[in-house]
């Protein structure tokens, strides 16, 4: 829709303004990571004119830039976060692979093979996301205890994959719906099996969709809190769980919390940026094809 | 000069230098007499202004002096031998003692005893969740329990009584443990439920009066000794300095436990009580109403927004120079002295809480409630009965709560309040009584408050719900103007509390 | 092709079951068990003194009717749900339309918007708690500076504003999610109808209502469904920012279920509340699927 150049510039300006408004809290929070207490809590609040410090990162990651001696601080503490970021990455990547693999298989069948209960089957899959996490956490705790999955990567990967499956199935189905059916129909005539068609023809064509699904699964796993809290103990800790430990009996270590938050945005954001283009395309969910 | 005397002297010199009562040259000369060259004092000088050197708290100590005593290390090595390779787990709130152990002291224990210890640091309500699941499943995931004073009733049957452990395991007992060293009011208020000890007192945050000396001096005020003085002082300050600076502050977030803590302080201070001997809620009697009326007046002298703050916002408001006093957690005092956290380093003074108008004696209350203006929020440490290694856990517990370790915790953990009498007199603790992060200069006040003014909440299994939901939600409604009168609010709380007790 | 090949193809790969098996297995194990367990739990209650669950019959269910906190929180939940969904949808649509162009840098702007999703909701709540603080918060400061808020008003501790304060965090974090879904739909629209409309001289307003909206209705329906399901369960913002206060002004059903379960160890009643939530969401979602004629 070409418009006059004035309206074009207005649109560009408005787009940057809107993105700026959404970005501001992220900027502000990141800047808190570089402040000491005086600059976080000042009246009026400081936006740009604070004196930057790396103290929060030193404390949170247990690294020392330059001279340092004893590490304990009132209200904070040295939480050695690097391993925790690693836990989040392992669980995020693991659960994403599992969820995408299972969802891809199922979604292909739902897209290509007609069976009577198909519509209600998808409805049922979606309904598994309606259960409040609070209601799942306690039975899961007892089940995991019996199975020995408590506090393990496998346990966390399974539960996060489960949580993401309904969304992943819907997304992947929409992508397969986008791949013209004529292609695999002609292959069937040629005598190729479903599995072969799936692996050699449909899957490669839906690569973008897999990327988009993966990003969303990864984001939801990265930010999940309740399962990560209930089903882990001392061995594994994800970023959201660790973040809450900065709320202490002698106040909240805001700077430390922000430092971990800022550091935790980076890996997730790299993942998102890498597949951003596929993401937008992938979210159509096939709803236009009917 | 003995070593600790040297340190005390250095600390006081440092204090004077920092406060600007001493010039740099005489400071360096004094430091030089102690055998410290400029280099040994650290890089702080080069960066003065931006980064005063006392930030490296606690700098009054030389490298290696803040380590467990050799006797302790030897005992750990002896007694820990059979348990070498065992792993112990503890879930605890993020408090100064736990952070000091997890971050600084743990390696000493592990090295000496060969026992590995994993500490899970969590916010308070998550600790409760983890312990409840552990108890309900009898899983024995955690060998040691961190038990807030308000949960003592719930977990009393799930942990060992430390007195029995001492008796039953003479070969594991630390000779210098001295269980009688724990401050008796803390044993009563925190650890004891009926006749059992639910672990030993581990941590003691307690309400003390903290105020800005400079503002009080400027306006010719003195530390409040009565409830009325606290109110008039606050009114004067707010009148003179508001809206830049307010007289006092609070932790009054609706629906949060902190609001209930503030309430008990005013309630007890006006001769009120939560439960009577028949275990009926009586917070709505005349004294209870007077307390709310007083609180209303006091709230007018607090900064707008106080009803959205927990202890974090309350502490920040003082630390950033928005409020000139608080009758609240003494744990915050060292934080106020930290020049990196706030704007009032060295300006705060501590005093015992103002006297109650009248005080109900504990034998007239129910559920073991002990009225007192100095509200305590302590916790205890105990060995779980479901632990698979109760003996190793007991060794750790003795170490973590021994006088020697507690002194280190107090200094390393940023001036938190010790639970043992002897630690208040420990030279290492006293040496840190100077202005700066992690100061211990408020501890004499904490000690006096514990022995004379301490108030303790009742012990009953329903208390978690009453104290962190029923009461603070209704009080939040009251301060949001949803009740016609204090009487209406308190009567409603009575109905609701009794409904919780009945179910 | 031999007969056995044909049989294998028909039985093994043309039947949906082998493809769906892993999905069905994981969903059955991980959702049927919690569901059954919760139903069982809703007829029991945890007794702290005995550290055990005890049969209480229908007490938990009967209790619901008389529980004013339940009805209050249900009301708040519906208000929260309605406002959040409406604002996220309208705002999301507006932003999606704005970004639906091939201008330089728009891909980057879409990436910027996605960043809000990467932050754990509990942390987003903390961010807004700090920014809305009446003394130190930058949002409060700006609102006061432009005269929208009187200086003595704390947003999150004032009954009229608290919900708006919480919704601000909610809407900030989830509008970009709507934008992504709607934008994907817009990008996939065919261009021919628009060319025809231009020739007919339709105004952009007419084009939007007569062309874009009808073609987008399925996408919108799915976006609303997905976000709606999640919205009902979200409690992080209220938990962190207001604890449901002042009073019960922002106390949602999911917060209530969480508190009953985890803070007060009333697992039975917590399970009952969870099941009620599940029922409500199931009913609303199914009615919505019927009314909006959502097909997969």
Q: Read off the tokens for A205.
A: 């064509």
Is B322 in CB contact (< 8 Å) with chain C?
Answer: yes
Considering only residues A232 and C50, tell me which one the structure prediction assigns the higher pLDDT.
A232
Q: Does A238 reside within a domain?
A: yes
Ranges of beta strands (E only) in A188-277 are 247-248, 251-252
Is B133 in CB contact (< 8 Å) with chain A?
Answer: yes
Q: Read off the tokens for A282.
A: 């992938």
Topology adopted by domain B70-205+379-424: D-Maltodextrin-Binding Protein; domain 2 (3.40.190)
Identify the closest residue of chain C to B314 by CA–CA distance.
C135
A111 and A196 together in one domain: yes
**Integer Cα distance of B337 and A74 in angstroms:** 10
Contacts of C238 in chain A (CB under 8 A): none
Average pLDDT over residues A94-100: 96
Is A23 in CB contact (< 8 Å) with chain C?
Answer: yes
Identify the closest residue of chain C to A278 by CA–CA distance.
C184
**Integer Cα distance of C224 and C21 in angstroms:** 29
Range of the domain at A24: 5-53
Q: Are B24 and B52 contacting, i.e. CB atoms less than 8 angstroms apart?
A: no
Is C15 in CB contact (< 8 Å) with chain A?
Answer: yes
Give the CATH number for residue A154: 1.10.3720.10
Q: Nearest by CB to C157, which of B157, B307, B468?
A: B307
* pLDDT for res A281: 63
Is A91 in CB contact (< 8 Å) with chain C?
Answer: no
Helix axes C16-27, A153-178, angle to 10 degrees: 140
**Tokens 């329990």 -> residue:** B145
Domain boundaries, chain B: 3-41, 70-205+379-424, 207-374+451-502
Contacts of B150 in chain C (CB under 8 A): none
Q: How does DSSP classify residue C212?
A: I
Helix axes A5-33, C106-114, angle to 10 degrees: 40
Considering only residues B270 and C26, tell me which one the structure prediction assigns the higher pLDDT.
B270
Q: How far is CA B60 from CA B34, B100, C149, in A?
A: 12, 17, 48
Is B436 in CB contact (< 8 Å) with chain A?
Answer: no
* pLDDT value at A264 more than 90: no
Yes or no, beta carbons of C274 and A282 under 8 Å apart: no
Is B52 in CB contact (< 8 Å) with chain A?
Answer: no
Q: Nearest by CB to A74, which of B42, B322, B338?
A: B338
- Give the three-state DSSP class for C6: helix
Is B345 in CB contact (< 8 Å) with chain A?
Answer: no
Contacts of A73 in chain B (CB under 8 A): 57, 414, 437
* pLDDT for res A86: 86
Q: Does A60 reside within a domain?
A: no
* CA distance to partner chain C, nearest, from residue B71 (Å): 41
Q: Does A58 reside within a domain?
A: no
A40 and A171 together in one domain: no
**Integer Cα distance of A204 and B232 in angstroms:** 77
Q: Are A19 and C109 contacting, i.e. CB atoms less than 8 angstroms apart?
A: yes
pLDDT band at A287 (very low <50, low <70, confident <90, very high): very low
Contacts of C41 in chain B (CB under 8 A): none
Q: What is the pLDDT of residues C146-161, one digit of tens each?
A: 988 888 789 999 999 9
Closest CA to A74 of B412, B434, B429, B321: B412
Contacts of B469 in chain C (CB under 8 A): 259, 263-264
A43 and A89 together in one domain: no
Taking CB atoms and an 8 Å cut-off, how many pairs form between chains A and B?
136
> Of A180-184, B322-326, C8-12, which gets the smallest average pLDDT?
C8-12
A104 and A229 together in one domain: yes
Phi, psi for B244 (deg, rounded to 5): -75, -40
* pLDDT < 70 regions, chain B: 1-64
Q: What is the pLDDT of residues C261-289, one digit of tens each?
A: 888 888 999 999 999 999 999 999 999 98
Is B272 in CB contact (< 8 Å) with chain A?
Answer: no
Yes or no, beta carbons of A145 and B50 under 8 Å apart: no
A149 and A206 together in one domain: yes
A121 and A232 together in one domain: yes
Contacts of A286 in chain C (CB under 8 A): 296
Q: What is the pLDDT of residues A114-163, one digit of tens each?
A: 888 888 899 899 888 888 888 888 899 989 988 999 999 999 999 999 99
CATH superfamily of the B207-374+451-502 domain: Periplasmic binding protein-like II (3.40.190.10)
Q: Does A243 reside within a domain?
A: yes
Yes or no, beta carbons of C278 and A132 under 8 Å apart: yes
* pLDDT for res B62: 54
* pLDDT value at A209 more than 90: no
Contacts of B104 in chain A (CB under 8 A): 70-72
With left for phi above 0 and alpha for psi between -120 and 50, is residue C137 left, alpha or beta?
beta
Do B70-205+379-424 and B207-374+451-502 fold alike per CATH? yes
Q: List the domains of chain C with CATH numbers.
A: 66-291 (1.10.3720.10)
The residue of A69, A72, A152, A241 whose CB has the most chain B CBs within 10 angstroms, and thus the best one to mutate to test that interface, is: A72
A274 and A163 together in one domain: yes
Q: Read off the tokens for A61.
A: 């990651």
HSE-CB for B54 with a 13 A CA cutoff: 27
Is A66 in CB contact (< 8 Å) with chain C?
Answer: no
Q: Nearest by CB to B94, which of A36, A42, A245?
A: A245
Other chains touching C, judged by 3 or more CB pairs under 8 Å: A, B
Q: What is the pLDDT of residues A36-61, one digit of tens each?
A: 888 999 888 998 989 898 888 877 77
Helix axes B106-113, B70-80, angle to 10 degrees: 50
* CA distance to partner chain C, nearest, from residue A268 (Å): 6
For the range C31-36, what are the long-range contacts, defined as Cβ-Cβ under 8 Å and sequence gap of 24 or more? C31/A128, C31/A131, C31/A136, C31/A162, C33/A139, C33/A143, C34/A131, C34/A135, C34/A136, C34/A139, C34/A140, C35/A131
* pLDDT for res B11: 55
Q: For chain A, what is the domain count?
A: 2
The reply to whether ipTM tops 0.90 is: no
Considering only residues B41 and C103, tell me which one the structure prediction assigns the higher pLDDT.
C103
Q: Does A67 reside within a domain?
A: no
* pLDDT for res A35: 92
* CA distance to partner chain A, nearest, from residue C219 (Å): 6
A39 and A93 together in one domain: no
- Give the three-state DSSP class for B89: strand
Other chains touching A, judged by 3 or more CB pairs under 8 Å: B, C
Considering only residues A6 and B381, tell me which one the structure prediction assigns the higher pLDDT.
B381
A244 and A194 together in one domain: yes
pLDDT band at A67 (very low <50, low <70, confident <90, very high): very low
Q: Does A70 reside within a domain?
A: no
* pLDDT for res B10: 55
Q: How far is CA B351 from CA B261, B444, B451, C8, in A?
A: 19, 9, 14, 86
**Tokens 């009758």 -> residue:** B327
Q: Nearest by CB to C112, which of A22, A32, A283?
A: A22
Average pLDDT over residues C203-232: 88
* CA distance to partner chain B, nearest, from residue A72 (Å): 6
Contacts of C155 in chain B (CB under 8 A): 308
Q: Does A76 reside within a domain?
A: no
Is A116 in CB contact (< 8 Å) with chain C?
Answer: no
The residue of A66, A249, A252, A256 whose CB has the most chain B CBs within 10 angstroms, and thus the best one to mutate to test that interface, is: A249
Average pLDDT over residues A188-194: 77
* pLDDT value at C294 more than 90: no
Q: Does A112 reside within a domain?
A: yes
Q: What is the pLDDT of residues A271-284, one digit of tens each?
A: 777 776 666 666 65
* pLDDT value at C177 more than 60: yes
The residue of C157, C164, C255, C259 whose CB has the most chain B CBs within 10 angstroms, and thus the best one to mutate to test that interface, is: C157
Considering only residues A189 and C106, tell me which one the structure prediction assigns the higher pLDDT.
C106
């Amino acid at each position: 829709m070409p418009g006059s150049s004035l309206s074009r510039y207005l649109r560009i300006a408005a787009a940057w303004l809107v993105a700026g408004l959404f970005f501001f809290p992220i900027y502000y929070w990141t800047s808190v990571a570089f402040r000491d207490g005086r600059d976080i809590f000042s009246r009026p609040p400081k936006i740009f004119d604070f004196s930057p410090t790396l103290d929060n990162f030193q404390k949170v990651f247990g690294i020392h830039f330059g001279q340092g001696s004893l590490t304990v601080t009132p209200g904070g503490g040295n939480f050695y976060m690097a391993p925790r970021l690693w836990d989040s990455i392992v669980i995020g990547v693991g659960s994403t692979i599992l969820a995408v693999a299972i969802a891809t298989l199922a979604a292909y069948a739902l897209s290509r093979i007609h069976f009577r209960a198909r519509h209600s089957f998808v409805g049922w899959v979606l309904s598994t996301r309606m259960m409040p996490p609070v209601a799942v956490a306690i039975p899961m705790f007892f089940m995991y205890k019996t199975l020995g999955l408590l506090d393990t990567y496998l346990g966390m990967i399974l539960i996060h994959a489960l949580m993401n499956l309904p969304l992943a199935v819907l997304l992947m189905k929409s992508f397969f719906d986008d791949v013209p059916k004529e292609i695999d129909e002609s292959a069937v005539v040629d005598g190729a099996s479903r599995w072969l068609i799936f692996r050699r023809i449909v899957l490669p064509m839906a690569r973008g969709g897999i990327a988009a699904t993966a990003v969303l699964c990864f984001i939801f796993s990265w930010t999940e809190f309740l399962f990560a809290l209930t089903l882990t103990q001392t061995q594994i800790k994800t970023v959201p769980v660790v973040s809450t430990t900065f709320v202490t009996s002698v106040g909240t270590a805001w700077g430390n919390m922000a430092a971990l938050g800022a550091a935790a945005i980076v890996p997730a954001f790299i993942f998102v940026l890498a597949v951003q283009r596929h993401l937008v395309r992938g979210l159509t969910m096939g709803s236009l094809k009917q | 000069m003995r070593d600790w005397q040297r340190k005390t002297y250095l600390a006081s010199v440092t204090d004077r230098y920092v406060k600007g009562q001493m010039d740099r040259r005489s400071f360096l000369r004094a430091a030089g007499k102690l055998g410290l060259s400029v280099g040994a004092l650290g890089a702080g000088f080069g960066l003065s202004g931006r980064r005063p050197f006392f930030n490296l708290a606690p700098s009054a100590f030389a490298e290696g002096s803040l380590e467990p005593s050799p006797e302790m290390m030897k005992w750990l090595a002896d007694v820990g031998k059979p348990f070498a390779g065992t792993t112990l787990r503890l879930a605890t709130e993020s408090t100064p003692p736990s952070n000091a152990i997890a971050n600084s002291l743990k390696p000493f224990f592990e090295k000496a005893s060969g026992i590995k210890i994993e500490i899970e640091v969590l916010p308070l309500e998550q600790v409760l969740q983890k312990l409840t699941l552990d108890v309900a499943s009898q899983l024995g995931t955690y060998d040691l329990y961190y038990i807030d004073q308000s949960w003592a009733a719930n977990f009393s049957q799930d942990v060992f009584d430390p007195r029995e452990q001492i008796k039953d395991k003479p070969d594991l007992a630390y000779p210098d443990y001295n269980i009688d060293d724990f401050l008796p009011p803390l044993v009563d208020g925190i650890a004891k439920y009926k006749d059992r000890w639910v672990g030993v007192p581990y941590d003691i945050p307690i309400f003390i009066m903290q105020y800005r000396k400079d503002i009080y001096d400027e306006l010719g005020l003195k530390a409040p000794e009565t409830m009325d003085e606290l109110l008039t002082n606050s009114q004067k300050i707010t009148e003179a300095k508001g809206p830049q600076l307010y007289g006092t502050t609070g932790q009054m977030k609706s629906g949060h436990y902190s609001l209930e803590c503030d309430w008990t302080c005013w309630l007890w201070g006006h001769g009120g009580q939560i439960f009577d001997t028949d275990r009926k809620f009586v917070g709505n009697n005349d004294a209870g109403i007077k307390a709310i009326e007083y609180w209303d007046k006091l709230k007018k002298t607090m900064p707008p927004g106080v009803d959205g703050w927990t202890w974090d916002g309350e502490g920040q408001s003082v630390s950033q120079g928005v409020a000139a006093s608080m009758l609240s957690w003494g744990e915050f005092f060292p934080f106020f002295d930290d020049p990196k956290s706030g704007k009032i380093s060295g300006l705060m003074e501590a005093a015992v809480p103002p006297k109650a108008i009248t005080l109900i004696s504990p034998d007239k209350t129910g559920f073991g409630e002990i009225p007192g203006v100095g509200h305590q929020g302590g916790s205890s440490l105990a060995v779980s009965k479901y632990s698979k290694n109760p003996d190793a856990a007991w060794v750790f517990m003795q170490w973590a709560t021994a006088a020697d370790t507690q002194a280190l915790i107090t200094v390393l953990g940023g001036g938190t309040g010790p639970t043992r009498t002897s630690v208040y007199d420990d030279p290492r603790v006293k040496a840190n009584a100077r202005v700066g992060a992690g100061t211990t200069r408020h501890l004499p006040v904490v000690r006096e408050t514990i022995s004379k003014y301490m108030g303790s909440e009742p012990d009953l299994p329903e208390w978690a719900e009453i104290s962190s939901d029923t009461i603070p939600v209704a009080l939040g409604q009251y301060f949001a103007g949803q009740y016609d009168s204090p009487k209406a609010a308190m009567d409603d709380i009575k109905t609701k509390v009794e409904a919780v007790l009945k179910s | 092709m031999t007969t056995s090949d044909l049989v294998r193809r028909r039985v093994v790969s043309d039947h949906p079951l082998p493809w769906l098996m892993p999905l069905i297995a994981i969903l059955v194990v991980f959702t049927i068990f919690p569901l059954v367990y919760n139903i069982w739990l809703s007829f029991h209650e945890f007794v702290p003194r005995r550290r055990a669950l005890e049969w209480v019959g229908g007490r938990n269910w009967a209790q619901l009717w008389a529980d004013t906190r339940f009805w209050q929180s249900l009301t708040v939940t519906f208000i929260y749900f309605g406002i959040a969904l409406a604002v996220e949808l309208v705002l999301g649509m507006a932003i999606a339309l704005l970004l639906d162009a091939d201008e330089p840098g728009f891909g980057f702007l879409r990436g910027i918007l996605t960043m809000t999703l990467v932050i754990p909701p509990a942390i987003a709540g903390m961010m807004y708690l700090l920014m809305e603080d009446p003394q130190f918060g930058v949002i409060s400061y700006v609102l006061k500076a432009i005269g929208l808020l009187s200086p003595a008003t704390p947003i999150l501790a004032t009954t009229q504003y608290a919900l708006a304060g919480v919704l601000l965090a909610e809407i900030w974090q989830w509008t970009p999610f709507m934008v992504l879904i709607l934008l994907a739909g817009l990008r996939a629209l065919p261009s021919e109808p628009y060319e025809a409309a231009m020739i007919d001289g339709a105004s952009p307003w007419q084009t939007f209502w007569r062309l874009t909206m009808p073609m987008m209705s399925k996408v919108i329906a799915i976006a609303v469904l997905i976000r709606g399901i999640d919205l009902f369960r979200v409690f992080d913002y209220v938990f962190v920012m207001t604890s449901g206060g002042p009073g019960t002004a922002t106390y949602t059903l999911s917060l209530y279920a969480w508190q009953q379960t985890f803070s007060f160890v009333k697992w039975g009643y917590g399970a009952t509340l969870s099941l009620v939530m599940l029922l409500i969401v199931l009913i609303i979602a199914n009615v919505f699927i019927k009314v909006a004629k959502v097909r997969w």
